[in-house]
Amino acid sequence: MREVTFLEAIRAALWEEMERDPNVFLIGEDIGRMGGAFGVTEGFYERFGPDRVVDAPISETAIIATCVGAAAAGKRGVAEMQFIDFISYGFDQVVNVAGTYLYRSGGKTPIPIVVRGPSGGYVGGSLYHSQQFEAWFFHTPGVKVVQPAFPDDAYGLMKAAIRDNNPVVFYEHKFLYRRIKGHIPDAHEDYIVKLGSARIRRYGEDITVITYGAMVHFALEAAQHLEKEGISLEVIDLRTIKPLDMNTILESVRKTSKVLIVYEAPKTGGVGAEISARITEQAFEWLDAPIMRVAAKDAFVPFAEPLEKFVLPSVEDIVFTARELAAY
Amino acid sequence: MSTTRTRRKNGQQTVAPHERLEKSDLIEIYRRLWFARLFDEALYDAKKKGRLRRGNVYGSRGQEAIMVGTTYPLRPDDFVSPIHRDMPVFVFRGMTVEQVMCQVWGKAEAPTRGKDSWSHMGDMNLGIVHSTSMLGSTIAVACGVLWAQRLDGRRDRVLVAYTGEGATATGPFHEGLNFAAVHKLPLIVVVENNQYAYSTPVELEVPTKTVAERALGYGIPGYSIDGNDFNAVYDTMCEALAHARAGNGPVIVECVTYRIQGHADHDETRARNYRPVAEIEMWEKRDPLTRYRQYLLSTGQFEEAELPEPPADIKERIERAIAYAISSPDPEPHTALEDIYDESAGVSL
């Protein structure tokens, strides 16, 4: 086992996959000579050279498209979005080109690509360096969506994402990069976390909290707090948003009968809306209270601290809503 | 009158194609031009008579010299990414006419299994890269196919990406060519400048006199040539291929032509309203098939009787494929949910 930060776990996974499979290559802005804006790919250029660690022009479309075309020809490209917000430039490549490719090739041409990058708020990043657009791709057939919360999951999920034969959008919450530490298995163990498997990070009796990304840490903090009040939260870390692990969700719902869904993106049309709908369709008779959501307000993520705090969900929001649910 | 086209390169006269190609090549080219013409006519006819009931037919009448001239000098291991007015290119690069017709009719054994229509198909084993309706997007995807070749040490495989003059106004066209030029990828972008993107004339798509001038911004060669002259297309492609194969980076080949028909079969009436009819009639007189036939006769190698208009067996070959497609099975409804994900890697629950 190795103790690493969240960021180092991602770096280790990328490095080991590059060592394992010569078909894997990285492409992005400033990822080569510089080692990436956040330093995720430091040392890669020196080890793997300019053809496998590609310093691309500021061209998100071309960056993702290069991975797509290379995938059609048998390679496994990992595209770094310097900030995942910039994936909007490459939206057509993810949705209309990569997402549909297997379908329109009659099942013959899988597109194993990973589009990864730092996401999320709480760091004063303002409008274009703070967003969580996972719902866009959650809505897109043919694409998988991953967002880990802990180093071991980030490590195992990144390896699985690279080995997966489908386009995967991989959200790395920048708030976690250097704040969260944990142990990951040694390289020779070849550890992966299968995509589509949630993990219960805390067992509880009263309320099922379904969440992912940085919100997992918020939920765990809220759970600690509420424990003193005699309210027991079960915290499910989805890890993979698509495919969604409904079995783990439903099993927990049947135990607690109360559901709180927490996500950092704007509330309307978010991933939590779909989860809520599915629980209602599949486990309505098990529910003792309305399904509640804690999410960002339907706004952009603003710059000034009081504004950002007002828009994004907080530990207090989770505590407050969980109390309401417990009392229902 | 001679339509023999010679080109000057470094002050040297290059030889005309008929002096470099065998007589059998010249005949094959003539037949391919006619294949493209009859392919278009057969599908327009099938749509008109109700034998083809779904989808649009995108006409290619008048653009045949581009399809044949850009593919004839290719190596078998080169790549192409054809677009909607290049259907015969799929056949020239190895698909069967039956496969192409099954695609048009949305049949189970089509390359897309009935999932997508018309030209949105490919076969990586044949080096045919799948395009989408967003034509510019494929220019960027082409960079990836070529990057894979670079990783495999195959830097001399060229990719010919087709696009329209309208698509050169899109972002991906720019990002793709810019990337290809920065990294000197062997990409040849053939711009079929047929002067109309649906109803929008070229001057509302491109601010420069030629589309080829866009090459200046990438520091790469740009040719603007007569796309209705097979020899001009062929010669230019030979030069472009040599340039790209030698590791000098991408080339733009703008083939100036004209969209004789509407945007698709549903547009035939309006296409004679949003464009001057005199303009259409003028371009009909520049027919690439007539011009190539005149060229062949001018070489002195052919008798009139050797160049029938059209060659007798081609129409029958196309008809046979259409009959095959019509009688082949439709896809089962449940297959609509197949091929969305590939789980063969076993890393997903």
Predicted confidence (pLDDT) per residue in A149-158, tens digit: 999 999 999 9
DSSP H or E segment with residue A171: strand A168-173
| Same domain, residue pair A239 and A214 | yes
The residues in B 165-204 lying below 8 A from A, measured between CB atoms, are: 171-172, 175-176, 178-179, 182
Q: Which residues contact B300 (CB under 8 A, 6 or more apart)?
A: none
Considering only CB atoms, B347 lies closest to which of A62, A103, A164, namely A164
Q: Sheet of B251-256: strands edge to edge?
A: B79-81, B159-164, B187-193, B251-256, B222-226
Predicted confidence (pLDDT) per residue in A87-137, tens digit: 999 999 999 999 999 999 999 999 999 999 999 999 999 999 999 999 999
| Same domain, residue pair A8 and A125 | yes
Query: How many CB pairs below 8 Å do chains A and B form together?
Result: 174
| Same domain, residue pair A235 and A323 | yes
* Residue A264: C-alpha distances to residues A121, A142, A320, B43 (Å): 8, 24, 16, 53
| Same domain, residue pair A290 and A161 | no
Using DSSP, state whether A103 is helix, strand or coil: helix
Whether A107 and B342 lie within 8 Å, measured CB to CB: yes
- CATH homologous superfamily, domain B16-322: Thiamin diphosphate (ThDP)-binding fold, Pyr/PP domains (3.40.50.970)
Contacts with A76 from chain B: Cβ below 8 Å: none
User: In the structure, what pLDDT confidence band is assigned to residue B9 with cuts at 50, 70 and 90?
Assistant: very low
Active-site residue list of A: 129
User: In the structure, what pLDDT confidence band is assigned to residue B14 with cuts at 50, 70 and 90?
Assistant: low
User: In the structure, what pLDDT confidence band is assigned to residue B4 with cuts at 50, 70 and 90?
Assistant: very low
Whether B179 and A194 lie within 8 Å, measured CB to CB: no
| End-to-end Cα, chain B, rounded Å | 71
Provide the ipTM.
0.96
Q: A180 lies in a domain?
A: yes
- Helix pair B23-48, B312-327: axis angle to 10 deg: 50
Domain containing A266 — which CATH number?
A: 3.40.50.920
Whether B345 and A73 lie within 8 Å, measured CB to CB: no
Parallel, antiparallel, or unpaired: how do β-strands B222-226 and A24-28 relate?
A: unpaired
- Boundary residue ending a domain (A189, A213, A236): A189
Parallel, antiparallel, or unpaired: how do β-strands B196-197 and B200-201 relate?
A: antiparallel
| Same domain, residue pair A44 and A160 | yes
| Same domain, residue pair A167 and A80 | yes
Q: A194 lies in a domain?
A: no
Vertex B53: Cα angle to B48 and B55 (nearest 5): 100
Q: Which residues pair with B126 in a beta bridge?
A: none
| Shortest distance, CA B114 to any CA of chain A (angstroms) | 8
* Residue B323: C-alpha distances to residues B41, B294, B326 (Å): 15, 34, 5
| Same domain, residue pair A151 and A289 | no
Q: How many CA atoms lie within 13 A of B67 on its CB side?
A: 30
Predicted confidence (pLDDT) per residue in B59-70, tens digit: 999 999 999 999
What's the mean per-residue pLDDT of chain A?
Answer: 98
Whether A69 and B175 lie within 8 Å, measured CB to CB: no
C-alpha–C-alpha distance, residues B183 and A66, integer Å: 12
User: In the structure, what pLDDT confidence band is assigned to residue B126 with cuts at 50, 70 and 90?
Assistant: very high
C-alpha–C-alpha distance, residues B58 and B56, integer Å: 6
- B111 interfaces chain A, CB cutoff of 8 Å: yes
| Shortest distance, CA B132 to any CA of chain A (angstroms) | 7
Residue-level pLDDT at B323: 98
Whether B343 and A165 lie within 8 Å, measured CB to CB: yes
Hey, how many other C-beta atoms are within 10 angstroms of the C-beta on A205?
A: 11
* Residue A267: C-alpha distances to residues A249, A314, B209, B237 (Å): 20, 14, 50, 55
| Same domain, residue pair A225 and A280 | yes
| Same domain, residue pair A204 and A311 | yes
| Shortest distance, CA A306 to any CA of chain B (angstroms) | 38
Tell me the percentage of chain A whose pLDDT exceeds 70.
100
The tally of domains found in chain A comes to 2
C-alpha–C-alpha distance, residues A181 and A192, integer Å: 18
Please state the domain extents for chain B: 16-322
Chain A: residue whose CA lies nearest to B111: A106
| Same domain, residue pair A157 and A278 | no
Whether B116 and A165 lie within 8 Å, measured CB to CB: no
Q: Are A163 and B347 in contact (CB under 8 A)?
A: yes
| Same domain, residue pair A152 and A217 | no
Q: Which residues contact B81 (CB under 8 A, 6 or more apart)?
A: B122, B128, B129, B130, B131, B138, B141, B142, B159, B160, B161, B162
Residue B11, pLDDT above cutoff 70: no
Considering only CB atoms, B339 lies closest to which of A56, A102, A163, namely A102
Domain containing A183 — which CATH number?
A: 3.40.50.970
DSSP H or E segment with residue B201: strand B200-201
- Boundary residue ending a domain (A139, A170, A189): A189
- Boundary residue ending a domain (A161, A189, A217): A189
Whether B141 and A97 lie within 8 Å, measured CB to CB: yes
| Shortest distance, CA A66 to any CA of chain B (angstroms) | 4
Contacts with B167 from chain A: Cβ below 8 Å: none
Which structural domain range is residue A101 located in? 2-189
Considering only CB atoms, B141 lies closest to which of A68, A163, A165, namely A68
Residue-level pLDDT at A102: 98
Predicted confidence (pLDDT) per residue in B146-196, tens digit: 999 999 999 999 999 999 999 999 999 999 999 999 999 999 999 999 999
| Same domain, residue pair A38 and A152 | yes
